């Protein structure tokens, strides 16, 4: 087994394709395929399932990937310590619902590696795609929320995909509005207060089920309903149309428009926001660092981080 083979493995998982990985590694596709086949033969396992759509990790492959990442991290440490070499090119990906605090933590992580070579990916995407990204190792971590309404359905899906939900914090729902909205100044708003304002939500593509919604209370009837695909557009519509959306209430003052205000929504609902990861895979050092930034940022906004060990 060679270190280069492990690097190849991690690259293939990142791109989900031997073809794409070969292009970025500047080697031929047959050479890369042969290197992985040799690794599989030597280890006595099948790492990838191959199909016309690309490759996917087997159960053995998922476990092997976790060990491969740890080996590469240890090699980095040894080379830096004894050969005065720069650490190898950093690879890390996150998929998330549209939360500014998740972006802010990602920015802080990247800043800490500004002297290194890196290839980071942050995907703000649909709920079902987050689950798919993490289950296929396109992203190491996914960020989404559970509540009483969607938990049973999403937990069933996570179990089928061999993923685990790790709670981060519990949030009371807030509405985001423009600072010029007539509702600004109220200590809280009710659903009745919002009836005549345009409601903005993130569309979920083919999986536009109520259970995959990024917003709570997704089944209620709305007079005015607008679906969009990205956070910047929602903010533009909040300002341009005097609309509103429902979220956690965590606004990153460093990254968000100062024109957006969060107001508590008077409902009994609660959101448990957390992260998902494969059940059989040990997190990389990079993922652990990202979670530290994420928890620190959330704590700075006055939320209590949930300690999983204590429930």
Cβ atoms within 10 A of the Cβ of 83, count?
8
Residues 16 and 139 both lie in one domain: no
Strand 141-146 to strand 90-96: parallel, antiparallel, or no bridges (unpaired)? parallel
- pLDDT score recorded for residue 311: 44
Closest CA to 19 of 34, 7, 30: 30
Give yes or no: residues 40 and 81 share one domain: yes
Q: Are residues 183 and 221 in the same domain?
A: yes
Say whether both 73 and 201 belong to one domain: no
The predicted structure's pLDDT at residue 310: 44
pTM over 0.85: no
Q: Are residues 71 and 153 in the same domain?
A: no
Q: Do 212 and 302 share a domain, yes or no?
A: yes
102 and 131 share one domain: yes
Q: Do the strands 260-264 and 271-278 form a parallel or antiparallel pair, or are they unpaired?
A: unpaired
* CB contact at 8 A, 108 and 293: yes
pLDDT attached to residue 220 = 82
Report which DSSP code applies to 167.
E
| Predicted pLDDT at 254 | 63
39: domain CATH number?
1.10.10.10
CATH number where 251 lies: 3.40.190.290
Domain edge (last residue) among 25, 57, 85: 85
Question: Among residues 85, 104, 120, which one ends one of the domains?
Answer: 85
| DSSP of 268-311 | S--EEEEEEEETT-PPPHHHHHHHHHHHHHHHHTTPPPP-GGG-
Spatial distance between the Cα atoms of 142 and 140, rounded to a whole number of angstroms: 7
pLDDT at 86: 59
Q: Are 79 and 142 contained in the same domain?
A: no
What is the model's pLDDT at position 253? 62
Task: Return the pLDDT at 17.
Answer: 86
Per-residue pLDDT of the chain (311 residues; tens, 9 = 90+): 888 999 899 888 888 888 888 988 889 999 999 999 999 999 999 999 888 777 888 888 888 887 888 788 778 767 766 666 655 567 788 999 988 889 999 999 999 888 777 788 999 999 999 998 998 888 899 999 999 999 999 999 999 998 999 999 999 999 999 999 999 999 999 999 999 999 998 887 766 578 888 888 878 888 898 988 888 888 888 888 999 999 887 876 665 557 888 899 999 989 999 999 988 777 888 899 999 999 998 898 888 999 865 44
Where in the sequence is the domain holding 36, given as residue range(s)?
1-85
Distance CA 65, CA 68 (A): 5
Instruction: Verify that 137 and 274 share a domain, yes or no.
Output: yes
> What is the count of structural domains for the chain?
2
How many Å apart are CA 69 and CA 65, to the nearest integer? 6
Verify that 56 and 156 share a domain, yes or no: no
What are the tens digits of pLDDT across the range 171-204? 999 999 999 999 999 999 999 999 999 999 888 7
Write down the pLDDT at residue 185. Answer: 92
**Looking at the structure, do residues 59 and 107 belong to the same domain, yes or no?**
no
Domain boundary (62, 85, 108) is at: 85
Do residues 212 and 256 share a domain? yes
* Residue in this structure with the two tokens 């919002």, named with its chain if needed: 194
């Amino acid at each position: 087994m060679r270190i280069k083979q492990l690097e190849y493995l991690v690259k293939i998982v990142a791109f989900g394709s031997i073809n794409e990985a070969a292009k970025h590694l500047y080697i031929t596709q047959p050479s890369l395929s042969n290197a992985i086949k040799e690794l599989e033969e030597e280890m006595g396992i099948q790492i990838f399932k191959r199909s016309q759509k690309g490759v996917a990790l087997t159960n053995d492959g998922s476990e092997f990937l976790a060990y491969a990442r740890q080996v590469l991290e240890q090699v980095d440490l040894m080379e830096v310590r004894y050969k005065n070499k720069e650490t190898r090119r950093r690879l890390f990906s996150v998929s998330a619902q549209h939360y500014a605090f998740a972006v802010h933590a990602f920015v802080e992580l990247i800043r800490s590696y500004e002297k290194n070579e890196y290839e980071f990916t942050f995907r703000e995407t649909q709920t079902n795609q987050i689950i798919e990204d993490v289950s296929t190792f396109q992203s190491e971590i996914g960020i989404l929320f559970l509540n009483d309404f969607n938990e049973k359905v999403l937990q069933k899906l996570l179990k089928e995909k061999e993923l685990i939900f790790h709670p981060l914090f519990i949030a009371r729902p807030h509405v985001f509005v423009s600072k010029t909205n007539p509702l600004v100044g109220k200590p809280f708003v009710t659903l009745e207060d919002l009836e005549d304002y345009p409601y903005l939500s993130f569309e979920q593509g083919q999986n536009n089920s109520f259970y995959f919604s990024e917003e709570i209370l997704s089944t209620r009837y709305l007079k005015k309903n607008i679906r969009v695909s990205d956070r910047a557009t929602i903010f533009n519509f909040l300002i341009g149309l005097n609309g509103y959306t429902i979220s956690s209430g965590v606004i990153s003052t460093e990254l968000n428009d100062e024109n957006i205000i969060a107001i508590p929504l008077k409902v009994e609902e609660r959101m448990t926001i957390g992260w998902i990861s494969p059940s059989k895979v040990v997190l990389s050092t990079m993922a652990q660092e990202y979670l530290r930034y994420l928890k620190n940022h959330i704590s700075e906004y006055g939320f209590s981080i949930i300690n999983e060990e204590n429930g």
